Amino acid sequence: MSKTSVHTTSLHTNGNGTGTTETKRLEVLKTYKIYIGGQFPRTESGRYYIPVNNEGKKLANVCLSSRKDFRNAVVAARAAFGGWSGRAAFNRSQILYRMAEMLEGRRMQFIDELMQQDASRAAAEKEVDLAVDRLIYYAGWCDKYQQLFSSVNPVASSHFNFSVPEPTGVVSIIAPQQDSLLGLISVISPVIAGGNTCVVLASESKPLCAVTFAEVLNSSDLPGGVVNILTGKPSELASWFVDHMDVNATIYCEKDTDIQRMMREKSALNLKRVFFYDQTDWTAAESQSPYFIFDTQEIKTTWHPVENIAGAGGGY
């Protein structure tokens, strides 16, 4: 967070060379926008900030999202929830797999962005590879976790009774500040694999991959609004992420105890489910599991009578 500053001077271009000679072709710079409802608007506030890497290089003019951007994103996420949660699990799986394909196809671009954001080439390659694999991992879970977390309950009366997980709804996420690609994908994937929709705030200091990842999402058959990506400051947005009454759960991935306390207090407004993934090493094997999916699931139990004319047992 400390690596950001707001400047009005021109931006450095990326590591492929700097345009010093007039004969050399002028590079086309990328505009980093936010991603809401499948569209790439600029922040409604018109504000921006310029994250700077360790070498002092300014990365981009990045949208400094506002409370209203968040509100718009929640509206988009809520609108997308019915369709996404109602899709066949198999279809969600296909789409997550497609996301992995698209990510793999842009492998070099992400490595490049990670390197701009202070990663070594080896580390950047590893992170992109892990990120692709993580998507594949959760793509596979889309139509399996239900069987893991469901139960048929042997009630003593003549009823058929079963419990199944259902997505909790709209999830607001403040993504990990480090592991800006892998961490982001690690927290989004279980949420959407489980049929939720989400609004996620990218790493403040390393936002580039999140915006580029939005482009991956946009070309992966993922319906607009399922994942909405904002850039900006957790210190400014965290409280809005947790006090919106139409958000069902909040995930926070940092250790700031003040924010954590504030989040649990405000979550009482509508009894949001709050999770702190503040101890997770996203590169470790344990950082992926169906139990992450389970966090943003509700268990629904259904009862129905079992007719018993011939006098056989009612339950299962």
Partner 1 sequence: MATAKSLLTVPDFALSPRIDQVGVEERAARFTTRSIKKESKLNGLKLVLNMIDLTTLEGKDTDGKVKQLCYKAIHPHDAVPGIPTVAAVCVYPSMVKVAKKALGDSGIRVASVATAFPSGQAPRDVKIRDTRYAVNEGADEIDMVISRGKFHAGEYNFVFDEIAAIKEASGEARLKVILETGELGSFDKVRRASEIAMYAGADFIKTSTGKIQPAATMPVTLVMLEAIRDFYYKTGRMVGMKPAGGISKSKLALHYLVMVKEVLGEDWLNNEWFRFGASSLANDVLMQIVKEHTGLYQSGNYFSVD
Partner 2 sequence: MAVTKKKAAPKKSNTVKLKFDTSWNYAPAPESKSAATIHKQYDLFINGEWQKPSGKKYFDTINPATEEKLSEVAMANEADTNKAVTAARNAYEKVWKKMPAKERGKYIFRIARMIQEKARELAVIETLDGGKPIRESRDFDVPTAANHFFYYAGWADKLEYAFPNRQASPLGVAGQIIPWNFPLLMAAWKIAPALATGNTVVLKPAETTPLTALKLAEIIQEADLPPGVVNILTGAGETGASIVNHPGIDKIAFTGSTEVGKLIQRAIAGTNKKATLELGGKAANIIFEDAPIDQAVEGVINGIFFNQGHVCCAGSRLYVQESIAKQVIRKLKDRIETLIVGDPIDKNTDIGAINSKQQLDTIHKYLNIGKKEGAEMYESSCPLPRKGYFCRPTIFTNVAQSSRIAQEEIFGPVLAVLTFRTDDEVIEKANNSPYGLSAGVWTDKGSKIFNMTKRMRAGVVWANTFNKFDPSSPFGGYKESGFGREGGLHGLMPYINLTHQS
Binding site for partner 1 (CB under 8 A): 157-159, 305-309, 314
Partner in contact with 58, chosen from partner 2, partner 1, none, beta carbon below 5 to 8 Å by kind: none
Counting contacts by CB under 8 A, is residue 265 touching partner 2? yes
The answer to whether residue 286 forms part of the interface with partner 2 (CB under 8 A) is: yes
Q: Is 194 helix (H, G, I), strand (E, B) or coil?
A: coil
304 binds partner 2 per the rule CB under 8 A? yes
User: At a CB cut-off of 8 Å and minimum separation 6, what does 81 contact?
Assistant: 167, 169, 170, 196, 197
276: which 2 tokens? 């702190």
Residue with tokens 């319906």: 223
CB 245 within 8 A of CB 78: no
Q: Is 38 left (phi over 0), alpha (psi -120 to 50) or beta?
A: left
Taking the least distance from each CB to partner 1, the nearer of 25 and 304 is 304
Are the beta carbons of 177 and 205 closer than 8 angstroms? yes
Should residue 168 be labelled a site residue for partner 2 when binding is judged by CB under 8 A?
yes
Compute the radius of gyration of the chain from its Cα atoms: 22
Counting contacts by CB under 8 A, is residue 106 touching partner 2? no
> Does residue 303 belong to the site contacting partner 2 (CB under 8 A)?
yes
Candidates 221, 259, 225, 223; CA nearest to 241 is 259
- Provide the minimum distance between the beta carbon of 224 and partner 2 in the complex, in angstroms, as a whole number: 22
Alpha helices in 157-272 (DSSP H): 182-193, 208-218, 234-243, 257-267
Out of 91, 120, 235, 301, point to the residue binding partner 2 (CB under 8 A): 301
Q: Which two tokens stand for residue 286?
A: 């344990």
Near partner 2 by CB under 8 A: residue from 263, 275, 280, 293: 263
Short-list 14, 2, 12, 5, CA closest to 48: 5
> Quick one: 197 or 231, whose CB is closer to partner 2?
197
Q: Among residues 291 and 303, whose Cβ is nearest to partner 1? A: 303
Number of residues that bind partner 2 (CB under 8 A): 37
Q: Which amino acid is at 181?
A: L
Q: Pick from partner 2, partner 1, none: which does 307 bind, CB < 5 to 8 A by kind?
A: partner 1
Binding residue (CB under 8 A) for partner 2 from 26, 28, 122, 156: 156
Least distance (Å) from partner 2 to the CB of residue 205? 26
As given in the structure block, the two tokens for residue 103 are: 């990510």
CB of 114 to partner 2, least distance (A): 27
* Binding pattern for the stretch 51-90 against partner 2, x by CB under 8 A and - elsewhere: ----------------------------------------
Give the side-chain half-sphere CA count within 13 A for 35. Answer: 28
Binding positions for partner 2, rule: CB under 8 A: 148, 151, 153-157, 159, 161, 163, 166, 168, 248, 257, 260-265, 267-271, 273, 286, 289, 291, 298-305
